[in-house]
Each structure stands twice: as structure tokens, then as C-alpha cells.
Amino acid sequence: MASSYKIEIPEPRLSKFLFADSRLGWLWFVARVYVGYQWLSAGWEKVSGGGWIGPHAGAALRGFLAGALAQESGAHPNVSVWYGWYLANVVVPHAALFANVVAFGEVAAGVALILGAFTGIAAFAGAFMNLNYLFAGTVSINPLLLVIELFLILAWRSAGWLGFDRWLLPWLGVPWQPGKAFDGTKAARA
């Protein structure tokens, strides 16, 4: 007979204070607005400039990818072979689609972070984009943004407290606990 028991490890006080206490909402506000501004400005440059969307969509991305693929060889390559294969065989053939996803994804992540709406999801999307830029051999500001985004992901409960998440999270809830919008009462629908 298998016995089932539950072991629950309590969250350390420091971790709870840093990542779940609304009193630190101001700290996460500064961090998310900084990262959000970086994404919004980068995305806006792509949306309003040439080669990313519109009739010439993918031209700028193909140029970026050519530079990344050139870094795949040599004694100490900046781009891993597996990622180079992915770029050459998946992204390059669909450069127009990926260019649109990148441009609008950067704008969406930036706007969501600035507004504090779905902060954890927006920070995850930003971290995913930063990882792809890093895998493509582009360092720039990507490591700094990635570190801040990782902290924002950990602080998802309080990072949007000075933003729309203050109302969105209680109203919508989370996958393991539905919010007021889904509790089934008439009061929630009114």
C-alpha cells in the first residue's frame, strides 16, 4: 500500500518580502518600467522602420540572421551549432513571419510591462526574446534585461501592484485559483 503525504516547505521570509510583499511594489515598478521602455522603444523602432513589417517584412531580420550564422564557426563560436541549425532551417525560411512576431512581440511586452498588466507573463516573454538574442550571439543590453526579467518573473505577485495587475489578478485569478470573474456568482458578473 502506497502512503501519500504532503510535505510543504515554507517560503523564507526574505523571499516572501522580496517577491510577494506589495510594499516593494515601487521597486518592481521601477524595474518593470525600465525593461518595458527598452522593449517598447526597440519594438517601436522595428514597427515604424523598414524591413521588419509591411511589404519588405523579414529583410532586416535576414540581415541579423546572416550575422548570427556567421558567428557559428571558428575555434570559439558565439552561436551554438544547434541554434544555428534552428535559425537556418526554421527562422530564415519564414523570416517575414518571425519579423512580425519579433516587432509586435517587443511592443506588446513593453506596453504590458509599463502598464503592469500580466507582468509575469510579459517578463517571461521578454526573457524568452532576450535568450534568443543571446543565443544568436548578440550581447548588448540583453544580459541585464534578462536578469531583471527573471526577478520580475519571481515577483509576479507584487511586480504589477503599482499597475493594472493590482485589479487584474484578483479579478481574473490564476490557473490554480479562479478570480472574481470566474467564481460563478451574480455579484462577479455585475
Residue 90 within any structural domain of the chain: yes
In the predicted structure, residue 109 carries a pLDDT above the cut 60: yes
pLDDT digits (tens, 9 = 90+) for 123-180: 999 999 999 999 999 999 999 999 999 999 999 999 999 999 999 999 998 888 888 9
Query: pLDDT band at 2, cuts 50/70/90?
Result: low
Does 68 map to a domain?
yes
Say if 40 falls within a structural domain.
yes
* Mean pLDDT computed over every residue of the chain: 92
Structurally, the chain folds into a number of domains equal to: 1
In a domain, 28, yes or no: no
Average pLDDT over residues 77-92: 96
- Within a domain: residue 25? no
pLDDT tens column, 13-34: 999 999 999 999 999 999 999 9
The whole-number pLDDT of residue 108 equals 98
pLDDT at position 30 is 98
In three-state form (DSSP H/G/I as H, E/B as E, the rest C), the secondary structure along the chain is: CCCCCCCCCCCCHHHHHHHHCHHHHHHHHHHHHHHHHHHHHHHHHHHHCCCCCHHHCCHHHHHHHHHHHHCCCCCCCCCCHHHHHHHHHHHHHHHHHHHHHHHHHHHHHHHHHHHCCCHHHHHHHHHHHHHHHHHCCCCCCHHHHHHHHHHHHHCHHHHCCCCCHHHHHHHHEECCEECHHHCCCHHHHC
In a domain, 66, yes or no: yes
What is the extent of the structural domain holding 105? 35-180
pLDDT in tens, 44-74: 999 998 889 999 999 999 999 999 999 998 8
- Report yes or no on 77 lying in a domain: yes
